[in-house]
Chain A
Amino acid sequence: MTHRFIVEVDKISKNFGPVQALDEFQLKIEPGLFGIIGPNGAGKTTLLRILLGLIQPSSGSARVLDMDISQSKNIRERIGVLLENPTLPKAMGAREYLSQVIKIYGSNTDPDELLELVGLQDATNRQIGHLSAGMRQRLGIALAFAGNPELIILDEPTSNLDVSGREQMLDLLSHLYHKSRVSIIIASHILSELERVCTHVAFMNRGKTVVQGTTNDIIEKYAMDRYRIRCSDAHTLSQQLDGIVGIEDIRVLGPNIFSLRYEESIDSIELQVRQEAESCKVQIHRLEKTATLEDAFREVIQ
């Protein structure tokens, strides 16, 4: 079934005692690969738990696949979920557990096919407790696909993985999306990852949607005039450049890297920066015009 919106959230608020996790949060998600981005504590996980019926909103309403969230079981029949650091029965074999979950969904999916799809064909009989973190996440993805879902919700799918594990997970998600065309919602605070895989994103901060749109539009709108400079002493050079006409919003990202906004051409800024670097004896390694989701996020959140 095709839906205009797979998720519609209307003015949802959620309080945990004095803490307001969501504040009249609104969001409409079209089918596709969608990223929900926000810093830790922004309310991403709270939002997903509300959509899954694990917790109740204090006020507001939401619909998933045209069903009100009060019909939690009906929603869960049609979606697949991978929570952040999911707990799975350690004593059960990967295939054994997947088979039981497929039965719970009442689906006719072949567990071996699913395990092969996520690259776990060699670990089918291994106990879940003996799988590596990356393999457990892969099994989590297989479990999310167990019921032939129309929508998959992933909460921080790469949170406990190393760099190569993250790469593999993102490749897998991208591959599965293009193969199955099942809509996927990924909540994460790692912007570079979402930029790589998501066509649409929403920025969340302090329980509210700050910006929503296609990844490219958001980068275009909020981060096109940014330059990133790699040098021998980012702190000194950034101080030197501070106050120069046209240069705005300098952000030191590390001891050897900082970024700034400059609306003129790259040649013009390169000249300026090199002059200032020479005067304070800082060596420039690289100067490039960058436009990342991270830059856009910083711009928007500021």
Chain B
Amino acid sequence: MRQKLAQLMAQFQIEMRMSYRFPVIEGLAALIFLTPISAAVAIWSAVSFRPDALEYFIFAEFGFSGKHLGTCMFGFTQWLSIIVAVLVSFTAAKSFEDGYIQTLLTYPVERVTVLLMKIICVVIIPAGLMTSTYLFAILFVIPQAPLFGHVSIMLLGVWISILLFATLSMLVAVITQKVSATAIFGLAFGFVTPLLLSNPVIPNIVRVALHPFDAAYIYLANLSPNMMLDTELTQLIDLQIGFGISLMISLVLLAITLWLFTRSEIGG
């Protein structure tokens, strides 16, 4: 058990040194942290002229809490799928292209472990950074007391979105084994699907399932102050079901990716 753990740690350290060397994480952290700060500055500027500005910020009865929680991070959502795709390109597709995966697979490592390690890093690093930024924003940038439910919805949206984008991009990386194809796919998914999903014909659940973070933001941004309308209850149920579907899609994609990778020919 201890030896297995040491093996996993060694693989993890190589993965980190290979794919996340300076300034990948540092740059990503800076980018993510700048988003709430810039959003907060805009919010403060917009309301600071009001005579009741202080009350506006302190009390949640204006419905400020949920909306601004979302606004704070929403600027980042469009980039989320692209950033995840770029990370997958860095970690998985690049090692196919430059041949390191071949070197790695001459050591006594399981293919499943190799890929899971990459996916875990791709999910945990941006999602962890976004979570910490989000909490940082709540504590310091927008000093309110947001509802626990709102925070949960936003964080779930972040994690499920990143998991979905990561598994989808990883599938593309394993199939194409190309950095460019993986990155282009991320760009396309990030920019094209929101446009397609904005069509009112598309059911709300599909929208939630394919872009959970956007859906979470839209739900919070449109909340009525101090009460829940029937339509909002329906939206909340859609959100919950959509999150579940998104999670299921991610797990199915992960299973397919692992299955393909264990059977793929390396350097053939």
Contacts and interface: CB of A to CB of B under 8 A. Distances in A.
Interface in A93-136: 96-97, 100-101, 103-106
Contacts, number: 83
Interface stretch (A82-90, A183-191, A239-247): A82-90
Interface in B75-108: 98-100, 102-103, 105-108
B96 to A, nearest CB: 11
Contacts of A56: 263, 265
A53 B263 CA distance: 10
Contacts of A85: 99
B3 interface: yes
Contact of A86 (B6, B7, B99, B108): B99
A173 interface: no
Contacts of B11: 100, 104
Interface residues of A, number: 30
A22 to B, nearest CB: 12
A268 to B, nearest CB: 53
* Chain B interface size range: 20 to 34
A88 B109 CA distance: 16
B245 to A, nearest CB: 35
Interface string A147-179: 100000000000000000000000000000000
Contacts of A74: 108
A224 interface: no
Given A54-B102, A76-B106, A103 B268 contact: no
A16 B265 CA distance: 11
Given A103-B6, A105-B107, A91 B14 contact: no
25 contacts: A49-B268, A52-B106, A53-B105, A55-B265, A55-B267, A74-B108, A76-B105, A76-B106, A83-B103, A85-B99, A86-B99, A86-B103, A87-B102, A87-B103, A88-B103, A89-B14, A89-B17, A92-B14, A92-B17, A100-B10, A100-B13, A103-B7, A104-B7, A104-B109, A105-B108
Contacts of B13: 100
Nearest to A85: B99
A92 to B, nearest CB: 5
Contacts of B135: none
B24 to A, nearest CB: 11
Interface in B14-58: 14, 17-18, 21
Contact of B6 (A89, A91, A106): A106
Interface string A67-91: 0000001101100010101111101
Contact of B110 (A49, A73, A97, A100): A73
Contact of B105 (A54, A91, A97, A147): A54
A54 B267 contact: yes
Nearest to B17: A92
Given A89-B18, A103-B9, A104-B11, A54 B109 contact: no
